[in-house]
Amino acid sequence: MWWNSIYTRIFNFHRWQSVKVLQLMCERLDLTHILDKIELKFYNRLYRCDSDVLQYCMSISKYCKNVINLVNKYDACVGDVVDTDVIFCKFGDLCRLKCVC
């Protein structure tokens, strides 16, 4: 991804080297986890919205496979506020798994 190329240039990484551990050490999420965070925040706001139409849309979309997979990934339920720390911990777990293998 182009985002990772910024890290590789600044820190003189080779293209084949992963920058995930570096991102973890800098206390930054990777793009995938940033997008997950934004999506979870969107669903949370949609769930708590006062509009009947939007709540109906959310009641249908919470059974969507993508939404179910996303909330299960962070051990949450639809409507839960998923803290950034939880997402960061999951990212850290992913980095540690990649380092061990």
Q: Give the pLDDT confidence of 65-84 residue by residue, as tens digits.
A: 988 898 888 887 766 767 77
Does 51 map to a domain? yes
pLDDT above 80 (res 18): no
DSSP 15: T
Q: Would residue 21 count as lying in a domain?
A: no
pTM (2 decimals)? 0.74
Q: Can you give the pLDDT at residue 98?
A: 65
**Domain of residue 40, residue span:** 31-100
48/98: higher pLDDT:
48
For residue 76, report the phi and psi dihedrals to the nearest 5 degrees: -125, 180
Query: Is 13 strand, coil or helix?
Result: coil
DSSP 49-88: -S-HHHHHHHHHHTTSHHHHHHHHHTT--TT----HHHHH
Least confident piece of the model among 2-6, 39-43, 84-88: 2-6
Confidence at 1, pLDDT banded by 50, 70, 90: low
Is the residue at 84 inside a domain?
Answer: yes
Number of domains in the chain: 1
CB 8 within 8 A of CB 17: yes
